[in-house]
Amino acid sequence: MHVQRVVLNSRPGKDGVPVPENFRLEEISLTPELKDGEVLVRTNYLSVDPYMRCRMNEDTGAEYLIAWQLSECLDGGGVGVVESSCCSSCSEGDVVTSFNWPWQTHAVMKGSVLQKLNPQLVDGHLSYFLGAVGITGLTALLGMREKGHVSKGANQTLVVSGAAGACGSIAGQIGRLDGCARVVGICGSEEKCKALVEDLGFSAAINYRQDDVPAKLKECCPDGVNVYFDNVGGAISDTVIEQMNNGGHVILCGQISQYNKDVPYPPPLNDKTQETLQKKHITRERFMVLSYMSKAEAALCELSQWVKSGQIKVLETTVNGIENMGVAFCSMMKGGNIGKQIIKISE
Q: For ligand NDP, which stretch binds (CB under 6 A), given 120-128, 229-237, 240-248, 318-326?
A: 229-237
Q: Is residue 162 at the binding interface for ligand NDP, with CB under 6 A as the rule?
A: yes
Range 265-294, binding ligand NDP (CB under 6 A) = 287-289
Nearest to 280 by CA among 239, 240, 247: 247
CB of 334 to ligand NDP, least distance (A): 6
- If one asks whether residue 165 binds ligand NDP (CB under 6 A), the answer comes out as yes
Smallest gap from Cβ 225 to ligand NDP, in A, equals 17
Binding-site residue total for ligand NDP (CB under 6 A)?
Answer: 31
Q: Which of 167, 206, 227, 244 binds ligand NDP (CB under 6 A)?
A: 167
- Answer whether 56's CB lies under 8 Å from 8's CB: yes
Residue of the chain from 96, 254, 307, 322 that contacts ligand NDP (CB under 6 A):
254
57 binds ligand NDP (CB under 6 A): no
- Which residues between 2 and 41 bind ligand NDP (CB under 6 A)? none
Give the separation between CA 71 and CA 5, rounded to whole angstroms: 11
| Side-chain half-sphere CA neighbours of 68 within 13 A | 26
Name residue 340's beta-bridge partners: 316
Q: How many CA atoms lie within 13 A of 48 on its CB side?
A: 31
Site for ligand NDP in 117-156 (CB under 6 A): 136, 139
Q: How far apart are the first and last CA of the chain?
A: 18
Q: What is the dihedral of CA 237, 243, 248, 250, to 10 degrees?
A: -10
Segment 176-215, which members bind ligand NDP (CB under 6 A)? 187-189, 192
Note whether 51 binds ligand NDP by CB under 6 A: yes
Burial of 30 (0-12, 13-18, 19+ CB in 10 A): middle
Q: Which helix (H) or strand (E) holds 154?
A: none
Please name the helix (run of DSSP H) or strand (run of DSSP E) that holds residue 314, with its range, or none. none
User: Hey, what amino acid is at 204?
Assistant: A
Q: Does 77 interact with ligand NDP (rule: CB under 6 A)?
A: no
- Taking CB under 6 A as the criterion, the residue among 102, 134, 137, 168 binding ligand NDP is 168
Which residues are near ligand NDP by CB under 6 A? 49-51, 136, 139, 162, 164-168, 187-189, 192, 231-232, 236, 253-257, 287-289, 332-333, 335, 337, 341
